[in-house]
Amino acid sequence: MELINKKGVRMDGRKPDQMRDVRIEAGVLHRADGSAYLEWGGNKVLAAVYGPREAIPRHSQDATKAVVKCRYNMAAFSVDDRKRPGPDRRSQEISKVISEAFENVILTEEFPRAQIDVNIEILEAEAGTRCAGLTAAAVALADAGIPMTGLISACAAGKAGGHVILDLGKAEDNYGEADLPVAINHQTGEVVLLQMDGDLSQKEFDQALEYAIRGCKEVHELQKAALMKRYASHNGGGEA
Protein backbone atom coordinates (compact mmCIF):
# COMPACT_ATOMS: atom_id res chain seq x y z
CA MET A 1 0.00 0.00 0.00
CA GLU A 2 1.36 3.38 -1.01
CA LEU A 3 0.37 5.78 1.75
CA ILE A 4 1.94 8.77 0.05
CA ASN A 5 3.07 9.04 -3.57
CA LYS A 6 6.24 10.45 -5.06
CA LYS A 7 4.65 13.84 -5.49
CA GLY A 8 3.93 13.94 -1.78
CA VAL A 9 0.18 13.40 -2.20
CA ARG A 10 -1.55 11.24 0.41
CA MET A 11 -4.19 8.56 -0.24
CA ASP A 12 -7.05 10.95 0.45
CA GLY A 13 -5.46 13.65 -1.70
CA ARG A 14 -4.03 15.72 1.12
CA LYS A 15 -0.57 17.31 1.23
CA PRO A 16 1.76 16.13 4.04
CA ASP A 17 1.02 19.13 6.25
CA GLN A 18 -2.69 19.36 5.49
CA MET A 19 -5.44 18.60 7.97
CA ARG A 20 -8.75 16.92 7.32
CA ASP A 21 -11.83 19.14 7.38
CA VAL A 22 -12.93 20.04 10.90
CA ARG A 23 -16.34 21.40 11.84
CA ILE A 24 -17.33 22.39 15.37
CA GLU A 25 -20.65 23.48 16.81
CA ALA A 26 -21.06 24.66 20.42
CA GLY A 27 -24.13 24.26 22.59
CA VAL A 28 -25.92 21.41 20.81
CA LEU A 29 -27.50 19.62 23.78
CA HIS A 30 -30.40 20.86 25.90
CA ARG A 31 -29.77 19.24 29.29
CA ALA A 32 -25.99 19.44 29.54
CA ASP A 33 -24.39 22.50 31.20
CA GLY A 34 -22.16 22.77 28.15
CA SER A 35 -21.83 20.77 24.94
CA ALA A 36 -20.22 20.58 21.54
CA TYR A 37 -20.47 18.51 18.36
CA LEU A 38 -17.44 18.01 16.19
CA GLU A 39 -16.76 16.38 12.85
CA TRP A 40 -13.12 15.79 11.99
CA GLY A 41 -12.74 13.95 8.72
CA GLY A 42 -14.89 10.85 9.25
CA ASN A 43 -14.94 11.27 13.05
CA LYS A 44 -18.19 12.35 14.67
CA VAL A 45 -17.93 13.33 18.31
CA LEU A 46 -20.33 14.71 20.90
CA ALA A 47 -19.08 16.18 24.19
CA ALA A 48 -21.19 17.16 27.20
CA VAL A 49 -20.12 18.78 30.46
CA TYR A 50 -21.97 18.65 33.77
CA GLY A 51 -20.93 20.58 36.84
CA PRO A 52 -19.19 21.68 38.88
CA ARG A 53 -21.34 19.76 41.35
CA GLU A 54 -20.71 18.00 44.64
CA ALA A 55 -18.38 15.05 44.06
CA ILE A 56 -19.88 11.65 44.76
CA PRO A 57 -18.98 9.29 46.33
CA ARG A 58 -17.82 11.46 49.22
CA HIS A 59 -14.40 9.83 49.45
CA SER A 60 -13.63 11.04 45.93
CA GLN A 61 -13.87 14.66 47.11
CA ASP A 62 -10.79 16.82 47.37
CA ALA A 63 -11.13 19.53 50.03
CA THR A 64 -8.88 21.87 48.05
CA LYS A 65 -10.13 21.56 44.48
CA ALA A 66 -12.59 20.06 42.02
CA VAL A 67 -11.84 16.71 40.43
CA VAL A 68 -12.18 16.39 36.67
CA LYS A 69 -13.86 13.15 35.64
CA CYS A 70 -13.53 12.53 31.96
CA ARG A 71 -15.28 9.64 30.26
CA TYR A 72 -14.26 8.79 26.72
CA ASN A 73 -16.62 6.26 25.20
CA MET A 74 -17.00 4.74 21.76
CA ALA A 75 -20.43 3.85 20.46
CA ALA A 76 -20.75 0.18 19.59
CA PHE A 77 -21.50 1.08 15.97
CA SER A 78 -18.75 3.69 15.62
CA VAL A 79 -16.24 1.24 14.12
CA ASP A 80 -16.21 -1.42 11.39
CA ASP A 81 -16.29 -4.38 13.80
CA ARG A 82 -18.83 -3.77 16.51
CA LYS A 83 -17.24 -2.65 19.75
CA ARG A 84 -18.59 -4.17 22.94
CA PRO A 85 -20.34 -1.42 24.92
CA GLY A 86 -18.74 -0.14 28.09
CA PRO A 87 -15.26 0.86 29.17
CA ASP A 88 -12.29 -1.17 28.03
CA ARG A 89 -8.64 -0.64 28.90
CA ARG A 90 -8.04 1.59 25.89
CA SER A 91 -10.91 3.96 26.62
CA GLN A 92 -9.99 4.11 30.31
CA GLU A 93 -6.45 5.11 29.42
CA ILE A 94 -7.66 7.79 27.04
CA SER A 95 -10.11 9.07 29.66
CA LYS A 96 -7.23 9.37 32.11
CA VAL A 97 -4.83 11.30 29.88
CA ILE A 98 -7.61 13.65 28.74
CA SER A 99 -8.73 14.24 32.37
CA GLU A 100 -5.17 15.16 33.27
CA ALA A 101 -4.88 17.54 30.32
CA PHE A 102 -8.01 19.38 31.49
CA GLU A 103 -6.97 19.39 35.18
CA ASN A 104 -4.02 21.43 33.97
CA VAL A 105 -6.15 24.29 32.65
CA ILE A 106 -9.36 24.23 34.72
CA LEU A 107 -9.21 26.53 37.76
CA THR A 108 -10.21 23.61 39.97
CA GLU A 109 -9.35 25.39 43.22
CA GLU A 110 -12.43 27.59 42.70
CA PHE A 111 -14.64 24.58 43.43
CA PRO A 112 -13.40 22.52 46.38
CA ARG A 113 -15.17 19.18 46.96
CA ALA A 114 -16.80 19.34 43.54
CA GLN A 115 -16.50 17.28 40.39
CA ILE A 116 -16.67 18.33 36.77
CA ASP A 117 -17.89 15.64 34.42
CA VAL A 118 -16.62 15.67 30.88
CA ASN A 119 -18.36 13.10 28.70
CA ILE A 120 -16.94 12.38 25.27
CA GLU A 121 -18.97 10.16 22.99
CA ILE A 122 -17.39 8.90 19.79
CA LEU A 123 -20.36 8.34 17.47
CA GLU A 124 -18.21 7.46 14.48
CA ALA A 125 -14.49 6.78 14.50
CA GLU A 126 -11.90 7.24 11.79
CA ALA A 127 -8.43 7.76 13.31
CA GLY A 128 -7.60 10.52 15.77
CA THR A 129 -10.61 10.17 18.07
CA ARG A 130 -8.73 11.20 21.21
CA CYS A 131 -7.67 14.49 19.61
CA ALA A 132 -11.17 15.04 18.23
CA GLY A 133 -12.71 14.17 21.61
CA LEU A 134 -10.43 16.45 23.59
CA THR A 135 -11.00 19.33 21.17
CA ALA A 136 -14.79 18.95 21.40
CA ALA A 137 -14.66 18.65 25.19
CA ALA A 138 -12.68 21.90 25.51
CA VAL A 139 -15.44 23.74 23.64
CA ALA A 140 -18.08 22.08 25.84
CA LEU A 141 -16.20 23.16 28.99
CA ALA A 142 -16.03 26.78 27.82
CA ASP A 143 -19.72 26.61 26.86
CA ALA A 144 -20.47 25.36 30.39
CA GLY A 145 -18.81 28.47 31.83
CA ILE A 146 -16.04 26.47 33.52
CA PRO A 147 -13.13 28.78 34.42
CA MET A 148 -9.91 27.79 32.66
CA THR A 149 -6.51 29.38 32.05
CA GLY A 150 -7.03 28.69 28.35
CA LEU A 151 -8.76 26.57 25.76
CA ILE A 152 -6.83 23.47 24.89
CA SER A 153 -6.88 21.75 21.53
CA ALA A 154 -5.32 18.61 20.14
CA CYS A 155 -3.99 17.31 16.86
CA ALA A 156 -1.84 14.38 15.84
CA ALA A 157 1.13 14.22 13.53
CA GLY A 158 3.17 11.21 12.58
CA LYS A 159 4.98 9.40 9.84
CA ALA A 160 3.64 7.32 6.99
CA GLY A 161 5.23 6.10 3.78
CA GLY A 162 8.52 7.64 4.90
CA HIS A 163 7.09 11.16 5.21
CA VAL A 164 6.31 13.21 8.27
CA ILE A 165 2.61 14.07 8.02
CA LEU A 166 -0.05 16.06 9.86
CA ASP A 167 -3.33 14.54 11.13
CA LEU A 168 -3.17 10.83 10.29
CA GLY A 169 -6.07 9.31 8.39
CA LYS A 170 -7.36 5.77 8.86
CA ALA A 171 -4.87 3.92 6.67
CA GLU A 172 -1.98 6.09 7.81
CA ASP A 173 -2.87 5.32 11.40
CA ASN A 174 -3.10 1.57 10.73
CA TYR A 175 -0.12 1.12 8.44
CA GLY A 176 2.06 4.19 9.06
CA GLU A 177 5.31 4.29 10.97
CA ALA A 178 4.49 6.67 13.82
CA ASP A 179 1.64 8.47 15.57
CA LEU A 180 2.12 11.50 17.81
CA PRO A 181 -1.04 12.98 19.38
CA VAL A 182 -0.40 16.32 21.08
CA ALA A 183 -2.55 18.79 23.01
CA ILE A 184 -1.54 22.39 23.68
CA ASN A 185 -2.66 25.09 26.07
CA HIS A 186 -2.74 28.06 23.76
CA GLN A 187 -2.35 30.67 26.44
CA THR A 188 1.03 29.28 27.52
CA GLY A 189 2.01 27.31 24.44
CA GLU A 190 2.73 24.34 26.70
CA VAL A 191 2.05 20.68 26.03
CA VAL A 192 -0.73 19.11 28.13
CA LEU A 193 -1.10 15.78 26.35
CA LEU A 194 1.57 13.85 24.54
CA GLN A 195 1.68 10.25 23.42
CA MET A 196 3.69 8.56 20.75
CA ASP A 197 4.17 5.17 19.28
CA GLY A 198 6.18 4.01 16.30
CA ASP A 199 9.64 5.04 15.21
CA LEU A 200 10.87 8.60 14.64
CA SER A 201 14.38 10.04 14.39
CA GLN A 202 15.04 13.17 16.44
CA LYS A 203 14.77 15.24 13.26
CA GLU A 204 11.48 13.62 12.26
CA PHE A 205 10.12 14.07 15.78
CA ASP A 206 10.99 17.75 15.73
CA GLN A 207 9.15 18.21 12.47
CA ALA A 208 6.17 16.10 13.55
CA LEU A 209 5.86 18.09 16.78
CA GLU A 210 5.98 21.33 14.81
CA TYR A 211 3.25 20.01 12.51
CA ALA A 212 1.12 18.88 15.45
CA ILE A 213 1.41 22.25 17.19
CA ARG A 214 0.49 24.00 13.96
CA GLY A 215 -2.54 21.67 13.68
CA CYS A 216 -3.53 22.48 17.27
CA LYS A 217 -3.47 26.18 16.39
CA GLU A 218 -5.64 25.65 13.35
CA VAL A 219 -8.15 23.71 15.46
CA HIS A 220 -8.02 26.38 18.17
CA GLU A 221 -9.23 29.01 15.69
CA LEU A 222 -12.20 26.76 14.84
CA GLN A 223 -12.97 26.26 18.55
CA LYS A 224 -13.02 30.01 19.11
CA ALA A 225 -15.20 30.56 16.03
CA ALA A 226 -17.71 27.96 17.25
CA LEU A 227 -17.99 29.67 20.65
CA MET A 228 -18.27 33.11 19.07
CA LYS A 229 -21.03 31.86 16.79
CA ARG A 230 -23.00 30.40 19.68
CA TYR A 231 -22.87 33.67 21.58
CA ALA A 232 -22.82 35.96 18.55
CA SER A 233 -26.03 37.72 19.51
CA HIS A 234 -24.50 38.77 22.81
CA ASN A 235 -23.29 42.10 21.66
CA GLY A 236 -21.90 43.59 24.81
CA GLY A 237 -24.80 43.84 27.15
CA GLY A 238 -27.30 45.94 25.19
CA GLU A 239 -29.15 48.17 27.58
CA ALA A 240 -28.02 46.67 30.88
Partner 1 sequence: MIPGDKIDDSGRYKAGPGTYFIGRDIFASRLGLLAERNGTLGVIPLSGVYNPRPGDLVIGIVTEVGPSNWMTDINAPYPAPMHSSETPWKIEFGETAEYLRPKDAILCKILFVDENKKVQVTMKEPNLRKLQGGQVIEISPAKVARVIGKNGSMSALIKKYTDCWMFVGQNGRIWVNGDLPMIQATIDTIRLIEAEAHKSGLTERVEAFLKERAGAPKVPTTPRMEAEVQ
Partner 2 sequence: MGQHVVLSQITKDYIVTLADSGKRLDGRPFDAYRNIRIKVGHIQKAEGSAEVWLGNTRVLAGVKVQPGTPYPDQPTSGTLSTAAEMNPLAAPDYEAGPPRPEGIELARVVDRGVRESGVIKFDQLGIKDAEGKISKVWMVFLDLHILDYDGNLFDACSLAALGAVLSAKLPNTRYKIEGKTEDEPLPLSEPPISTTTVKIGKSLFSDPSLDEDLCLDARLTVACDQEGNIRAMQKGGYGSLSVDEVKSIINLSRTNGARIRQLLKQAVASGEARTQE
- Among residues 8 and 87, whose Cβ is nearest to partner 2? 87
Q: How far is CA 108 from the centre of its chain?
A: 20
| Of 150, 173, 152, the residue nearest 43 (C-alpha) | 173
Nearest to 121 by CA among 183, 75, 181, 90: 75
Residues 6+ apart with CB under 8 A from 150: 105, 185, 186, 187, 188
Under the binding rule (CB under 8 A), the answer on residue 191 touching partner 2 is no
- Footprint (CB under 8 A) of partner 1, residues 65-104: none
Query: 61-95 burial string, b = 16+ CB within 10 Å, else e?
Result: beeebbbbbbbbbbbeebeeeebeeeeeeebeebb
In the region spanning residues 126 to 185, those forming contacts with partner 1, defined by CB under 8 A, are: 142-151, 185
Least distance in angstroms from the C-beta of 87 to partner 1 = 26
Which of 29, 79, 114, 194 contacts partner 1 by CB under 8 A? 114
Contact mark string toward partner 2, 140..179, x via CB under 8 A: ----------------------------------------
Among 70, 78, 168, 208, which residue interacts with partner 2 (rule: CB under 8 A)?
Answer: 78
- Cβ–Cβ under 8 Å, residues 40 and 22: yes
Check residue 25 for interaction with partner 1 (CB under 8 A): no
Closest separation between CB of residue 78 and partner 2, Å? Answer: 6
Smallest separation, CB 186 to partner 2 (Å)? 26
Q: CA nearest 179: which of 165, 190, 191, 162?
A: 165
Q: Which residues bind partner 2 (CB under 8 A)?
A: 29-33, 35, 42, 44, 46-48, 50, 53, 71, 73, 75-82, 85, 87, 117, 119, 121, 123-126
